[in-house]
Every structure is written in C-alpha cells, then in structure tokens.
Amino acid sequence: NAGVMQNPRHLVRRRGQEARLRCSPMKGHSHVYWYRQLPEEGLKFMVYLQKENIIDESGMPKERFSAEFPKEGPSILRIQQVVRGDSAAYFCASSPPSRVYNEQFFGPGTRLTVL
C-alpha cells in the first residue's frame, strides 16, 4: 500500500511565478490536509479537503493561495505570484473517512524555494 505521494519534491520559482504542488493520498483515504513548515518552526495547518469540497481553509492566506481536491486526480495546492516568504516545506497528509479520531499520514513534502 503506497504512502502519501507528493511531487515535485523540490521546486524553485522566481518571484511572481506560480507554484503548483501535488498530493496523492493513501489508497482508501478521502481526507487531505495541507501543512506548511517554515524554518525552525513546527507545521502549521493550511487547509482540509475532501473530494470536491473544501472543509476548512482557516489556515490559508487570504490571497494568492488556493487548494483543490478534484473527483479524479491529486490534490493541488496553488500559490500564485510567489514571494520569498513563501519559501518553506509544504506537507500533505491524508486520513481515512468516517472516524472520530484520525491519525494523519504525511507525504515527504515539497520544498519550495523562491529566488
């Protein structure tokens, strides 16, 4: 059973470009979470999605960031017009449906560097 897959593992963008980060959850998992880790800090929640629905986006910056989890295909975290402060490790996690308490299983992360 393959784990959570993220690609690319490393992404370099210049200021003003767009970054697209992809996440394929574990088989059988229908809940996807995105977290961001800045240097020397813990992970910070960004958004929680189920298939075709955004459940909680309370951690997403109001501008330039968006996320989707379509019926088919991976979840996408999109950052438009990137700035240097967006440089971080972005982790995706997934969990199975219909449980009160869910362990979340993390992917290897995408390390975004904005030049």
Partner 1 sequence: DQQVKQNSPSLSVQEGRISILNCDYTNSMFDYFLWYKKYPAEGPTFLISISSIKDKNEDGRFTVFLNKSAKHLSLHIVPSQPGDSAVYFCAASYSLYGNKLVFGAGTILRVKS
Distances from the Cα of 58 to the Cαs of 10, 27, 34, 46, 51, in angstroms? 26, 26, 11, 7, 18
* Span from 11-19, 68-76, 80-88, 99-107 in contact with partner 1 (CB under 8 A): 99-107
Cβ closer to partner 1: 2 or 100? 100
Token duo for residue 32: 């996807």
Q: Does 18 bind partner 1 (CB under 8 A)?
A: no
What is the rounded CA–CA span in Å between residue 72 and residue 89? 25
Binding site for partner 1 (CB under 8 A): 4, 6, 31, 33, 35, 40-45, 48, 55-56, 58-59, 91, 93, 95, 100-109, 111
